[in-house]
């Protein structure tokens, strides 16, 4: 049975799946609190260590005498946002952050003026990453908040290092010198003013067309959960944003709940994909409506987003293959991340994979040579090196396949 992603997305770059909330923390104290909350709730939101509004560039821990950094100590998804419009010297001072960045999920680039600005900063980031000894390139999230960046947003979105486009509403409005009223920084104005609506649509369209995640700006409401949830729902349903910033812990759960797929749609997606798999992915009818591979692609990615938000599939054996497929998808993503962290993709051409596959198979065969069934059973149950060999070799074969 072929994996659904092989059938529906053959040869395509997988779309990034990341938490639906990007939480900004602008001081050392708030960074600690955010990371502690992430440990409690799980990886349902990212933490951005935001240096733009006066926070120190590299907060240190107190409990270990200041030797470590957040991103090293916490099993979390965290990122670094440099000071406004980072220069090469700014990135150079971030070498220690990047060196600790085996858990650094990405870096945000604010105040860029256009695609050339982004290319220059990506080059500096790559050099900083190499100098820090990392074997992987850290993805970049680009903050679109200037006239030049919006004008060249499609070029920026097409850069392969760019994983997300974020809309900076406040600076965008301020850059219009009073032509856009201050009410457009809040709701409902931010969803109604034509210039702001145009910017949001352009950013979202450019991101989605180029395989990047569009991330919506903050809401200034901190206490009214219904307003926060409504803002997130409008960003998701009216403008196509798959992710949204938060600036206060109260905002995290309403945004998370608004951004995740509707449960009834998830159940429909599971039923449609089960029926499609039974028909070898040909056209089907479901509740009197036609579905084909175009809708299958939509529903498969819907399930992937649902899984990323912790939703599970209900039902018995009918959805077993979907749960298994989603687990395989997650495992494949982990293997690919392991590979990218070590820059091994350059060696994974067809010839080398075929050679590796046969070498691993030969290693497994050597363990079984001249052994009886009883000896094989004993070998399989043996702890230590023997057990390691009989489990690691099949796993290597699986990964090569």
Closest CA to 310 of 34, 44, 14, 47: 44
Q: Using CA atoms, how far apart are residues 381 and 81, in angstroms rounded to an integer? A: 50
Q: What is the pLDDT of residue 396?
A: 60
- Residue 387 tokens, joined: 């057990």
| Same domain for 179 and 36 | yes
The verdict on residue 78 lying in a domain is yes
This model's pTM is above 0.85: no
Q: Has residue 318 got a pLDDT over 50?
A: no
| Same domain for 159 and 122 | yes
| Same domain for 144 and 51 | yes
Strand, coil or helix: 157: helix
The CATH code of the domain that includes 110 is 3.20.20.60
**44-54 pLDDT, tens digit each:** 888 887 765 55
Q: Across residues 14-42, what is the average pLDDT?
A: 85
**128-145 pLDDT, tens digit each:** 888 777 777 788 999 999
The verdict on residue 76 lying in a domain is yes
| Same domain for 232 and 100 | yes
Q: Across residues 378-390, what is the average pLDDT?
A: 57
Domain carrying residue 89: 21-259
Q: What is the pLDDT of residue 28?
A: 78
Q: What is the pLDDT of residue 343?
A: 67
Q: Across residues 334-350, what is the average pLDDT?
A: 71
Other Cβ atoms within 10 Å of 202 Cβ, number:
17
Of 243, 259, 275, the residue that ends a domain is 259
Other Cβ atoms within 10 Å of 12 Cβ, number:
10
| Same domain for 323 and 232 | no
What pLDDT band is residue 347 in, cutting at 50, 70 and 90?
confident
Closest CA to 45 of 25, 59, 26, 29: 25
| Same domain for 290 and 188 | no
Q: What is the pLDDT of residue 315?
A: 55
121 Cβ contact partners less than 8 Å away, ≥ 6 residues apart: 86, 91, 109, 112, 140
Q: What is the pLDDT of residue 127?
A: 84
Q: Across residues 353-382, what is the average pLDDT?
A: 78
Which has more confidence, 13 or 176?
176
What pLDDT band is residue 300 in, cutting at 50, 70 and 90?
confident
239 within 8 A of 216, measured Cβ to Cβ: yes
């Amino acid at each position: 049975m072929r994996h659904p992603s092989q059938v529906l997305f053959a040869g395509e770059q997988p779309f990034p799946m990341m938490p639906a909330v990007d939480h900004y923390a602008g001081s050392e104290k708030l960074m600690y609190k955010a990371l502690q909350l992430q440990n409690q709730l799980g990886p349902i939101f990212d933490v951005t260590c935001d240096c733009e509004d006066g926070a120190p560039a590299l907060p240190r821990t107190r409990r270990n005498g200041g030797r470590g950094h957040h991103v090293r100590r916490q099993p979390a998804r965290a990122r670094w946002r440099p000071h406004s419009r980072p220069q090469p010297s700014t990135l150079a001072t971030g070498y220690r952050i990047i060196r600790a960045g085996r858990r650094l999920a990405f870096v945000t680039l604010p105040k860029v003026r256009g695609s050339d600005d982004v290319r220059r900063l990506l080059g500096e980031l790559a050099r900083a990453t190499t100098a820090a000894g990392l074997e992987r390139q850290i993805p970049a999230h680009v903050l679109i908040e200037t006239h030049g960046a919006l004008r060249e947003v499609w070029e920026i979105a097409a850069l392969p290092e760019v994983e997300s486009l974020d809309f900076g509403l406040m600076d965008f409005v301020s850059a219009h010198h009073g032509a856009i009223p201050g009410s457009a920084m809040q709701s409902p104005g931010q969803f109604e003013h034509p210039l702001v609506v145009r910017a949001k649509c352009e950013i979202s369209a450019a991101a989605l067309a180029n395989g990047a995640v569009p991330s919506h700006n903050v809401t200034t409401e901190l206490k009214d959960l219904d307003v926060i949830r409504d803002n997130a729902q409008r960003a998701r349903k009216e403008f196509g944003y798959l992710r949204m910033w938060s600036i206060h812990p109260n905002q995290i759960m309403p945004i998370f709940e608004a951004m995740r797929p509707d449960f009834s749609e998830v159940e429909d997606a599971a039923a449609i994909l089960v029926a499609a798999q039974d028909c070898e992915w040909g056209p089907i009818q479901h509740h009197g409506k036609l579905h084909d591979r175009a809708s299958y692609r939509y529903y498969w990615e819907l399930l992937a987003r649902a899984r990323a938000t912790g939703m599970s599939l209900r039902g018995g054996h009918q959805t077993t293959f979907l749960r298994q497929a989603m687990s395989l998808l997650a495992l494949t993503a982990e293997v690919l991340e392991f590979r990218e962290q070590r820059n091994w993709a350059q060696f994974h051409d067809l010839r080398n994979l075929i050679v590796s596959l046969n070498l691993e198979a030969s290693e497994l065969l050597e363990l079984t040579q001249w052994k009886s069934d009883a000896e094989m059973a004993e070998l399989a149950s043996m702890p230590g090196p023997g057990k390691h060999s009989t489990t690691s070799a099949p796993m290597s074969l699986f990964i090569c396949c």
